[in-house]
Structure formats: C-alpha cells, structure tokens
Amino acid sequence: MSDVAHTQDSYLGPPYGLGAWLLTKDHKRIAILYLISITIFFAVGAMFAAGIRLELLTPKGDLWTSDTYNKLFTLHGVVMIFFFLVPSIPAVLGNFLLPIMIGAKDLAFPRINLLSWYIYIAGAIITLTAVFTGGLDTGWTFYVPYSTLSSHTAVTTAAVGVFITGFSSILTGLNFIVTVHRMRAPGMTWFRLPLFVWAMYATSLQMILGTPVIAITVLLVAAERFLHLGFFDPSLGGDPVLFQHLFWFYSHPAVYIMVLPGMGVISELVAAVSRKQVFGYSFVAFSSLAIALIGFLVWGHHLFVSSQSIYAGLVFSILTMLVAIPSAVKTFNWTATMYKGAVTWDSSVYWVIGFLGLFTIGGLTGLFLAAMGMDIHLSDSYFVIAHFHYIMVGGSLMAYLGGLHFWWPKMTGRMFNDTLAKASAVLVFIGFNLTFFPQFVLGYMGMPRRYHAYPDEFQVLNVLSTAGAGVLAVGYLLPAFYLTYSLFKGAKAPANPWGAKGLEWTVPSPPPTFNFESDPVVNEPAYNYNPGREVHVG
C-alpha cells in the first residue's frame, strides 16, 4: 500500500506482502490483523441484528419461522460477544498501544501474540461452519438441557468453536500481564502508567481467571451431546443449574472484560480532551482492579430465578450492588476531569460524552436488576436487553470507536475528516437511544426477550426501536467510509496531532517497527499537562 503515509522505517513499510503480514511478530501488525477481522465479524453480527429488528416491526412472527428467529438472536449474541466485543479493544488498541505506552519494543511473547490471532481465526471458522451446518438456536448462553439433549442445531460444532476462541483471549491476557510486569521502561513505575494500561491489566486478569472455566463448560456440553456422557442430564440426576453456575462464572466477568478496556480508553480521551490529569488517578487505577476482583463474585445474579437458593441470591445481590461502586467512582472522576478542563471540541469529546451518558444509564439500570425483587419481574425481559446494550454498545462500542478515532492518526499516519466523525458520533448517540430506550419500557411492560411475536400494544415501541437501528447503522457505516478514505487521501499525521501526553505521542505516526529510536526513560507522571500546578501521584 504505497499510498499509505509512512517513512521507510514505519511498521507499515517493508517487509511488504501477505506473507510478511501473516507471519509477523510485530504487535502493531497483529493489531491491524485483528482490526480487519473484528470489523468483518461486526458486520456479520449486525446482519443478524437486522434480521431480528426487521421481524420485530410487526407483532406477528411473519418474517422468519420461530426456529430461524432463535438462530438469529443466538448467532447475533455469539458473534458480537466472542468475535467482536471481547477482542475489540484489547486485541486492536491494546495490542497496538500497550508496548508503546510502557516504553517497550514489543509484547513479552510476540509469537504467542500471533498465535492468538490464528486461534481466533480458527475458532471463527469453526463457528461459521456451525452457522452453515444447522445454525445454533440455544441462545448465546447454551443453557442445558436444551443444548445437550434437545436442540437439533450444530451445538457441538459451535461449542468447539467457542472453546477454541477462548484460548485466543487467554493468550492475549497472558501476554499483557507479563508485559506490564516485566517490560516497563526505566522510570515507568506503576503509578506513572497510563490508565489505559491499568485497564488492560485488569482485563487481562479476568481473561486469565475466567475464560478457562467457560472453556471447560462448553467442552462438557460438547462431550455430553457428542459422547453421550452425562453431566447436566436431569434423568441421571444431573443439575442444569450447575451449568449455569459454571457458565456465568466466566460470562459475568466477560462483561467486564468487554467494558473495562472501554473505560481505559475513556480515561485517555478524557485527559487528552481536557488537557488535565485524570482526577483521582489512583482511585481510577484501583477501581479497575476492584472491578476485576468484585466482578468475579457476582455471577449468581444471572441465576436469581433459576431455583438457586434464596440465601445465595441475597449474597449475590449485595455483591452486585457493590460492583457498581468502582464504576461510579470512574464516572465521577472522568466528569471531574472535564470540569474546568481546557476542553477542545474535536470529535473525541463527542465519543466521550456519548459514553458517559449511555454508560451511566446502563450502569444504573444494572442496579434495578441487582435487586432480586425487581429482577423477578424484569428477568428475561427486554429491560435486560436494553441494560446490557447500553453498556456494551453505548459503552464499550462507543469507547472502541472513540479510541479508534483518537489513535487512528498514530496507527495509520493519516488524519480523518473530523466533521464526519462528529456527525457519526451524534448519529450513533441518537440512533442508539432511539433503538434501546424503548426497550426499557417494553421490558418493564412485560415483553419477553427472545420472542419473535408480541402483543399488539407493544408495536409502536418496537417500530421506534427498529427505526433507531436504521439510524445506528448509518452512524456505524460512516466511519467505514471516511476512515478508509483517509488511508488514501487523508492528510499526513504528525507525531502528536492532539497535543496529548503519553509515550505513544512521542514516536512518529505511524511508529517504526521497534517503536523507539532509543530506549525511553520516564521521569514524569502520567498526564503531565500542567506540571507544577497539579498534584500527581507517581
């Protein structure tokens, strides 16, 4: 791609060719491989969503059969969670930026980094095979005994695909943990690290400790289905609730795996757009660790109505309320950072403000669900769907897009059209609220999730929701165009287009293969925008 701006030395320069990219050990190139892959899977997941929203325009189930509809929402979930959200920020932005932010030449294990991408692709191919050899209709949650004993879809194939993909996550997390511990540049103490690095570290802890459990769980499902072993079969005395415990032990931390990186991105953007250090740096850093820890203690809130004991429900309910606190700390601190900051109104701010509003709503509605009594009414309703989409899409995806824009000049060496970026952020915000706010109301009014037909009185809100999805789609398509356009026609980016602090802004855009001309030594705190006038830790 000789049109792409780079010096002879940049990571985009020689060696050229498919082989050089597919066998690369450079963390930056691997990040680009992931970027292309997850974008494709986002499109796939979005198509399944389109199928869902089109069906829900009318109260009757008249577009798809119920079997097909079951496959649509299942695959929407599986693809979006495992093949888009979980890898997105860590594998793209984390892979690209983490070594540079800490002053290292690469991650600790570059070959394992490449292996994690190949494992992701292998898992993706196998899961796509499941799509074409019978589909999957169990819900992304694979609940037993339906998935093991009754479903006539390609459950075993999909379970194997998810099993394999999990190892991609595990290897990424492993790499990040060792890198942050062992490869920081001289002077880069823990409390001088960018908060993005703290977030990546906390995410990696969750990846390491949680993913193996879902791996063995889907393996048990596959073994029960394929080898006729019995683990959850009620006729043998097996307990389907045991599956739910094992499944959610990972899948709840998984939602933090999906949102913590977004929070890390927002910390970086907030500091840069406010030209201020992040308010309460150490509180934000520790809150990432707190979310990582407490996030492992709350999974039972997915089992409130499963016949889990009431006592356990009480314990999980209290712990779930506790986990909201560190997230709230972050939200307050980001807001306090922007207060009286010298805010520059380029597109990054739009993504930040969008995140702050939507994540707050998503987080607060989580508290509704944490209260066991409310959850009995709201469980398995559209309220839950709205809640998690506010966090995952309003939060994580918005943060991912914000980060992609913010670091785009660094990664590609090109500037993009900022006006279009602002338009995109606004369209996404409007479209998102139009799509998902009605779903809170629908859920509260009693519309169940995963149904393709509904009572007539719910139609107006459903139509609004589908219309919103259309606006959202436009908002997401725009960056695909103007970002790609920028690769060919965008202005060449300077090393530090936003005037931000951080080691990544001290290297050229795009960076050279080994990141730094000479080994960096760090002697200032993070976000040192106003030296002498602000109190810093580190």
Partner 1 sequence: MASSSTPLETGAQGHAHNPNLQHHFYSMSQQLEASTLGMWVFLVTEIMFFGGMFMAYIVYRITYPEAWVLGSHHLNVGLGALNTGVLICSSLTMALAVRSAQVSSRKGQIVNLILTIVFGATFLVVKFFEYKEKFEHHLVPGPHFDMTLPDAGQQQLFFSLYFMLTGVHAAHMIVGIGLMLVILTMAIRGRFSSEYYTPVEISGLYWHFVDIVWIFLFPLLYLLGAHLAAHGG
Partner 2 sequence: MSEHEHIVTPTGTYVATFVALLILTALTYLAAIHDFGWMNTPIALAIALLKASFVVIFFMGVRYNTPLTKVVVITGFCWLFILFGLTLNDYLTRPWLGVPGR
CB of 26 to partner 2, least distance (A): 27
Backbone angles phi, psi at 230, to 5 degrees: -120, 115
**Which range in 204-212, 284-292, 332-340, 386-394 contacts partner 1 by CB under 8 A?**
204-212
- Asked if 63 touches partner 1 (CB under 8 A), the answer is no
Contacting residue, 57, 63, 115, 216, with partner 1 by CB under 8 A: 216
Task: Report residue 499: phi and psi, to 5°.
Answer: 65, 40
Region near partner 1 per CB under 8 A, out of 119-127, 211-219, 303-311, 490-498 = 211-219
From partner 2, partner 1, none, which one binds at residue 109 (CB under 5 to 8 Å depending on kind)? Answer: partner 1
The site for partner 2 (CB under 8 A) is made up of 181, 209, 213, 241-242, 245, 249, 296-297, 299-300, 303-305, 307-316, 376
Using rule CB under 8 A, residue 188 touches partner 1: no
Asked if residue 102 binds partner 1 (CB under 8 A), the reply is no
Which of partner 2, partner 1, none is residue 308 near (CB under 5 to 8 Å by kind)?
A: partner 2
Contact status, residue 108 vs residue 183, Cβ threshold 8 Å: yes
DSSP string, 119-137: HHHHHHHHHHHHHHTT---
Binding residue for partner 1, selected from 121, 208, 367, 464, defined by CB under 8 A: 208
Binding flags for partner 1, 20-39, as an x/- string (CB under 8 A): -----xx-------------
Can you state the angle between helices 310-338 and 347-370, rounded to 10 degrees?
A: 160
Q: Is 414 strand, coil or helix?
A: strand
- Chain positions 234 to 253 lying near partner 1, rule: CB under 8 A, are 235-239, 242, 245-246, 249
Q: Is 228 in the site for partner 1 (CB under 8 A)?
A: yes
CB nearer to partner 1: pick between 134 and 238: 238
107 binds, among partner 1, partner 2, none (CB under 5 to 8 A by kind): partner 1
- Tell me which of partner 2, partner 1, none is bound by residue 311, counting a contact when its beta carbon lies within the kind-specific cut-off of 5 to 8 angstroms: partner 2
> Residue type at 364?
L
Q: Compute how many residues bind partner 1; rule: CB under 8 A.
A: 55
Tokens of 358: 């939507």
Stretch in the footprint of partner 1 (CB under 8 A) among 102-110, 358-366, 403-411, 471-479: 102-110
Question: Residue with structure tokens 């080691």?
Answer: 503
**Residue listed under structure tokens 């805010």:** 343
* Beta carbon nearer to partner 2, 194 or 210: 210
How far, CA to CA in Å, does 389 sit from each of 55, 205, 352, 358? 19, 24, 17, 9
Q: Which stretch binds partner 1 (CB under 8 A): 41-49, 207-215, 312-320, 364-372?
A: 207-215
Q: CA–CA distance from 430 to each of 134, 230, 342, 421, 467 (Å)? A: 37, 49, 26, 14, 11
134 forms part of the interface with partner 1 (CB under 8 A)? no
CA distances from 59 to 205, 449, 461 (A): 44, 14, 11
- Residue ranges of alpha helices (H) inside 183-239 are 195-227
Nearest to 116 by CA among 1, 211, 219, 14: 211
Question: What's the CA angle centered on 35, arms 31 and 37, to 5 degrees?
Answer: 115
* Region of residue 193 (left: phi > 0; alpha: psi -120 to 50; beta: else): beta
Write the CB contacts of 197 (distance below 8 Å, at least 6 apart in sequence): 98, 101, 102, 180, 264
Q: What is the DSSP letter of 508?
A: -
143 binds, among partner 2, partner 1, none (CB under 5 to 8 A by kind): none
Which of 90/262 has CB closer to partner 1?
A: 90
Binding site for partner 1 (CB under 8 A): 8-9, 13-15, 25-26, 99, 104-110, 112, 170, 174-175, 177-178, 181-183, 208-213, 215-217, 219-220, 223-224, 227-231, 235-239, 242, 245-246, 249, 512-514, 519
